[in-house]
């Protein structure tokens, strides 16, 4: 593989990214569960996922889309939104439900993080199941500067997003020695991945949002879908503002 001079910064939450930062590429991560759901939905044939920070904007955009080709997907605090077709679960986005449909999606943190970096020229989402696919695609596209942005939880650090940021950065460096880390957060994320790489699901369950989901009820399948490493070849990529497709 060609040598790619790529610098990686990791930001725990979108607000940590400097206002004047202008990376060539951004990778948004919300392991529990928005970017995992996006990966599985596109893998299972959804036409696109259109992400919204604001629910009124979502409803307005969905209304002008053909009713038989749209689904509303969203949560707040882990609970499905009233009147929505689906909650934010990778388990729910099965082919019989999502194939050929556009998913109009809004979540507590993940879609807000996407909104923060929607101006970045190359924008993809990553989760543990498509970590390898995203690493390969980044090396193909070879942006010089990459911001990995964790979604966090309402402005605070999320363990599981850092775990996946570390998994992705580690894989990028394994594949290409010219990939460098440019902030301490990225180095710490790689150390976190070393700590948990043999049992990522245990890390997800220990994380505060993992604990929140456990309190809400049985999420065993969600944990399994979110923790499975390198299972999907899909790379959700922004095609127009907020619209992610498997390209
Ligand atoms: O915060 C988010 O964007 C969601 O992924 C949270 S949840 O896992 O759906 O509760």
Structure-derived torsion over alpha carbons of residues 126, 132, 136, 141, reported in degrees to the nearest 10: 0
Nearest to 58 by CA among 116, 105, 111, 115: 105
Domain boundaries defined on the chain: 6-246
Q: Is the CB of 34 under 6 A from ligand 1?
A: yes
Question: What is the whole-number distance in angstroms between the Cα of residue 74 and the centre of ligand 1?
Answer: 9
Q: Is the CB of 204 under 6 A from ligand 1?
A: no
- pLDDT above 70 (res 211): yes
Across 42-64, average pLDDT? 98
Helix (H) or strand (E) holding 211: helix 208-216
Helix (H, G, I), strand (E, B) or coil at 201: helix
- pLDDT above 70 (res 3): no
Q: List the beta bridge partners of residue 189.
A: none
How many residues does this entry show for the chain? 247
What CA–CA distance (Å, rounded) separates 42 from 226?
A: 15
Residue with tokens 């700590």: 195
- Check: CATH 3.40.50.10860 for 6-246? no
Our mutation pick for probing the ligand 1 site, out of 13, 29, 33, 81, counting the most ligand atoms within 8 A of Cβ, is: 33
Under DSSP, the state recorded for 14 is G
Across 189-198, average pLDDT? 98
pLDDT for the residue 2: 61
Tens of pLDDT, residue by residue over 237-246, are 999 999 999 9
- The answer to whether the beta carbons of residues 135 and 175 sit under 8 Å apart is yes
Question: Are β-strands 6-11 and 236-240 bridged in parallel, bridged antiparallel, or unpaired?
Answer: unpaired
State the closest ligand 1 atom to the C-alpha of 33, by its place in the atom list counted from 1: 5
């Amino acid at each position: 593989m060609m040598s790619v001079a790529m610098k990686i910064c990791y930001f725990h939450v979108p607000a940590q990214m400097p206002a004047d930062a202008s990376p060539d590429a951004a990778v948004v991560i919300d392991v529990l569960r928005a970017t995992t759901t996006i990966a599985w939905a596109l893998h299972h044939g959804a036409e696109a996922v259109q992400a919204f920070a604001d629910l009124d904007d979502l409803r307005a955009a969905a209304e002008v889309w053909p009713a038989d080709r749209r689904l509303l997907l969203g949560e707040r605090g882990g609970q499905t939104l009233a009147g929505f077709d689906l909650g934010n679960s990778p388990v729910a986005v099965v082919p019989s439900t999502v194939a050929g449909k556009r998913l109009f999606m809004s979540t507590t943190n993940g879609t807000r993080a996407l909104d923060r970096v929607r101006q970045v020229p190359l924008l993809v989402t990553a989760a543990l199941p498509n970590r390898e696919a995203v690493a390969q695609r980044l090396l193909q596209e070879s942006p010089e500067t990459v911001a990995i942005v964790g979604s966090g939880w309402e402005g605070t650090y999320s363990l599981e997003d850092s775990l996946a940021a570390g998994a992705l950065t580690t894989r990028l460096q394994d594949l290409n020695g010219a990939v460098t880390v440019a902030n301490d957060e990225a180095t710490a994320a790689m150390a976190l991945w070393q700590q948990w790489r043999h049992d990522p699901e245990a890390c997800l369950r220990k994380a505060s949002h993992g604990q929140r989901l456990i309190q809400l009820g049985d999420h065993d399948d969600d944990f399994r879908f979110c923790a499975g490493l390198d299972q999907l070849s899909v790379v959700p990529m922004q095609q127009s503002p907020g619209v992610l497709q498997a390209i």
